[in-house]
Chains A and B, each alone.
Chain A
Amino acid sequence: MFNINKYNKEIEGIKKLRNAHVGLSMEKQVMVKNKILNEIARLPIENTSSGFWVKYKLKHLQYVLVFGLGVAIFGGTAYASSMALPGEILYPVKRVTEKLQLNVAVSEESKANLQAKFAEKRLKELGEIQKQKKLNMQDDESKLSTSTQPVLVSTTTPALEKPEVKIRAVKFKESKVEKDAKLEAQVEVKEALINLRKLQKKMSEQGQEARAKALGENILKLKNKAIEKDIKEDEEEIGERKEQNNFMKFEQETKLEIKERD
């Protein structure tokens, strides 16, 4: 294939062109040489490894920067959201970050411990909300009692515009956030306790007493914290508490109505 023997005549002819091809005159050759030598006097010889790394780094620098910026933005938002309470703008970011952490957790044990940690966070958030609610209520009441302008309640004033009713509406709004936070805490505490107990049982069966004991301590800690916040894990207890709450709400409303009538 591609045998060139039959082209011997042409090959011989091309070989004779060696001297016919116009090269560089000596003058030009020296001129170009001087230019090159002047130029290279200012240049360092590229080292293999450093040259490669410089090129590699430059090529990937843009990706590193974009990735870094993304991490910084997400990290910053995630950090800022760690203090967020239910009902605030950054609260969903906090929950997403927690879900991500749970997905990344490798072992069952670390996952269960993380769940317990998050359940504790829910309880803490609930405490914060209740504290804020108390402060707001005190503030409202003090405003009402120190008001210099007498509250004129005419028979023609619509019920919704009465100041007491307005405060009540605000209280209701706040109590909705509180209610949701309580429910969230309840669910998370319950799930965390179930998983911790399951794992504790498994560890005991495998003879890993020390780890089972540590899990038991976590269970106890979480349970105590839940009781402090009036959270009970039992379904019946939850139902009971709901009824209690409804009754208290009804009582409060009735008291307010009686007050209004007086």
Chain B
Amino acid sequence: MDINELVKLAKNGEANAFGELYDLFANKIFKFIKLKIQNPEEAEDVLQEVFIKAYKGLGKLKLEDLNFNAWLYRVASNTINDKFRKKYRTPEIVNIDETFDIADKYSLQEEVQVKSDMESLQIVFNKLPELYKQVLELRFIEEMSLEEIAKILNKSNLSIRLIQFRALKKVRELSKNV
């Protein structure tokens, strides 16, 4: 069934239609969440929150010219930002030994020597700032337009172009060190 048809049914309270929408988008949205929230359990909680928020917000959605995909990413982006805002207000105490372990684990020189190109690119990608990762993911993996990304991340078209440019530049810089 067409996405907009499913949205229409879900808007009328059809839980099964909303379930189908979940099946279609859950994995993509989860990957997007994981770009910022590495802990899988935390990311699952955020995924659940995103879909509950989306369900609550269905009433506000206008079906004409609807881009449900972009709208759902926008809900996800806002939920992630809310989560971070709350986290900054109540910062967790981080064990300093664990931090050193992470630094050792992701030390570029040691790790990349034995990895294939693909793996080294993944490591480089993981090293990027979250916003760069989000833009690259949405632009080249989810193949969204600059306008869509601008809407999702609540930024101007120009700033998305700039972030995209800087992100690619950073990928090249980091790749040289690998």
Contact = CB atoms under 8 A, between A and B. Distances in A.
Interface of A: 1-4, 7, 10-11, 13-18, 20-24, 28-29, 32-33, 35-37, 39-41, 43, 45-48, 51
Contacts of B161: 1-2
A28 B34 contact: no
A45 to B, nearest CB: 4
Contacts of B51: 32, 36
Contact of A36 (B48, B58, B59): B48
B171 interface: yes
Contacts of A17: 118, 121-122, 125, 141
B175 interface: yes
A55 to B, nearest CB: 12
Interface stretch (B21-29, B94-102, B106-114): B21-29
B52 interface: yes
A40 B15 contact: yes
A18 B57 CA distance: 29
Nearest to A29: B26
Given A7-B168, A17-B141, A40-B18, A33 B23 contact: yes
B16 to A, nearest CB: 9
A33 B140 CA distance: 27
Given A16-B118, A24-B44, A45-B13, A40 B52 contact: yes
6 tightest A-B CB contacts, nearest first: A7-B168, A2-B165, A23-B27, A24-B30, A45-B59, A14-B140
Interface of B: 11, 13, 15, 18-19, 22-23, 26-27, 30-31, 34, 44, 47-48, 51-52, 55-60, 117-118, 121-122, 125, 136-137, 140-141, 161-162, 164-165, 168-169, 171-172, 175
A15 to B, nearest CB: 5
Given A16-B121, A24-B26, A43 B168 contact: no
B48 A35 contact: yes
Contacts of B164: 2, 4
Given A14-B121, A17-B121, A22-B34, A33 B26 contact: yes
B26 A45 contact: no
Contacts of A21: 31, 34, 137, 141
Contacts of B11: 45
Please indicate which of the listed interface residues A17, A20, A22 has the most CB atoms of chain B within 10 Å of its own CB. Answer: A17
Contacts of B55: 36, 40, 43, 45
A46 B125 contact: no
B122 A20 contact: yes
13 contacts: A2-B161, A2-B162, A7-B169, A10-B168, A13-B121, A17-B121, A21-B141, A32-B51, A33-B22, A33-B26, A36-B22, A45-B59, A46-B56
